Copies of this chain bind each other. A is one copy, B any other.
Amino acid sequence: MRLDDADLLKPLRRQAAGIGIGECVPDASKGQRPLSPDGHLIRLLLASLGSPPLRFTLWTGESAAGNGRIVGGFRIADRSTLLKLLINPERYFGEAYSDGAIEVEGDLVKLAEAVYVCRREPLTHYRGWLIRVAGWIGRGRRNTLSRARDNIHHHYDLGNDFYSLWLDQQMSYTCAYFPAAEMTLEQAQSAKMELICRKLRLRAGESVVEAGCGWGALAIHIARRYGARVKAFNISREQVAFARLRARALGVDGCVEFIEDDYRNIGGRHDAFVSVGMLEHVGPGHYVEFSRLIDRCLTSNGRGLLHSIGQVQPRALNAWIEKHIFPGAYPPTLREMVAILEPQGFAVVDVENLRLHYALTLAHWLRRFETECGRVRAMYDESFVRTWRLYLAGSLAAFKTGELQLFQVLFSRASSNDVPWTRAYLYGR
């Protein structure tokens, strides 16, 4: 079986097509008419973005388009927004979109993809250097215990009512795994948990520690399906409360302990260490500490799995996402992930890149979010709806274009021969 782009992403595209926001406005060509000063500025903006195939239209009706078949456009409400976009489009685009100072013409996902594809070209212009410098400054900031708590509270304590509108029933808020692309999100989230448990070869009675457990879906899955004892750490109060209730309702609260504490306070020795979607919040300044923690808490035959959003080259998280969605977050490269394991002498057993599965997961989330956006608006406001729409659509585009990656890294002690002979058992062979 070999799947190419067309086959792979058919369901994803169908879903993405269903969430077109606004309507594509036909090109009101300006012919040979001379450009206004603002018209020159949108051309400059387009050029600095690498001339993506989209159209910027000004409050005056004047417009300019990038190269190639135009996929849609953005309507800019005023000069102040235009100037901000010129200074730092990565940050101000999101703010202007959330405030309604930018309107989208066409499919937001396709537009974001177009921007990411062009951005991939080397950043040779002035802004490339600004972004890099900002990135390195950002990397220096440390997620202390109290800052980490603030960061996590900012995002994960928005309210279980909000997340339950568009996540699956078990509230898994990380990349799902779709053995078949047409699976439901619920099935794919269960398949992801099964994949992780099978990679870790969990056995009844073993002790498992989870760093960053979200709403507890994986910890509960491990206890119910594998009969292992789980200690699951999380600093989001709302999530821990939900996880405890769910474990009690399912009768596994004797096997799973949800601990409202920072991963740095994990103690004891365990047969397996698992962390799904938390490394993004650790920050490079804490990788050495994280490395020592894993070493300290794993037995000699222990196995570990790190599941994290990643990227191919080190670069600060999108400035708008970092400010408004995930403060303190940084997606590591695979080299940085592996470098966490090297000093302690862990051997990487297996790495799998699930990037396109995250694109499909996000397509599911975005579709559900759009279906429920009336309720979200009632709970918060229009600006909140637009912020989250842009975050979900932009993330979908980032995974689809390779701007972001998703790595699952399985490891053990270098000398442990308690490793599977081949990976066929993961695929039912």
Number of copies of this protein chain within its complex: 2
Residues on the B chain within 8 Å of A347, using CB? 312, 353, 355, 402, 405
| Chain B CB within 8 A of A63 CB | no
Residue of B nearest to A345 (CB): B312
Asked if A339 and B335 sit within 8 Å, CB to CB, the answer is yes
Asked if B402 and A9 sit within 8 Å, CB to CB, the answer is no
Asked if A402 and B415 sit within 8 Å, CB to CB, the answer is yes
Taken together as a complex, chains A and B put the C-alpha atoms of A405 and B51 apart, in Å, by 46
In whole Å, how far is A7's beta carbon from the nearest beta carbon of chain B?
Answer: 8
Taken together as a complex, chains A and B put the C-alpha atoms of A3 and B417 apart, in Å, by 9
| Chain B CB within 8 A of A419 CB | yes
User: Which among A181, A346, A347, A419 has the highest number of chain B CB atoms within 10 Å?
Assistant: A347
Asked if B348 and A350 sit within 8 Å, CB to CB, the answer is no
Residues on the B chain within 8 Å of A415, using CB? 117, 120, 401-402
Which of B342, B414, B422 is A402 in contact with, Cβ under 8 Å?
B414
Asked if A201 and B2 sit within 8 Å, CB to CB, the answer is yes
* Residue interface bits A402-420, CB-to-B below 8 A is 1, else 0: 1101010000011111111
| Chain B CB within 8 A of A223 CB | no
Q: Contact residue range for chain A?
A: 35 or more
Asked if B427 and A346 sit within 8 Å, CB to CB, the answer is no
Residue of B nearest to A5 (CB): B417
| Chain B CB within 8 A of A241 CB | no
With A181-B421, A429-B427: A313-B352 Cβ-Cβ less than 8 Å: no
In whole Å, how far is A306's beta carbon from the nearest beta carbon of chain B?
Answer: 13
In whole Å, how far is A8's beta carbon from the nearest beta carbon of chain B?
Answer: 5
In whole Å, how far is A120's beta carbon from the nearest beta carbon of chain B?
Answer: 6
| Chain B CB within 8 A of A385 CB | no
Residues on the B chain within 8 Å of A355, using CB? 347, 419
Which of B8, B201, B346, B419 is A421 in contact with, Cβ under 8 Å?
B8
In whole Å, how far is A158's beta carbon from the nearest beta carbon of chain B?
Answer: 31
What residues make up the interface of A, taking CB atoms closer than 8 Å to B?
A: 1-5, 7-9, 117, 120, 177-179, 181, 201, 312-313, 333-335, 338-339, 342-343, 345-353, 355-356, 400-403, 405, 407, 413-429
> What are 14 A-B pairs with beta-carbon distances under 8 A?
A1-B425, A2-B201, A5-B418, A117-B415, A312-B345, A333-B338, A334-B342, A347-B402, A348-B353, A348-B407, A351-B351, A356-B417, A427-B429, A429-B429
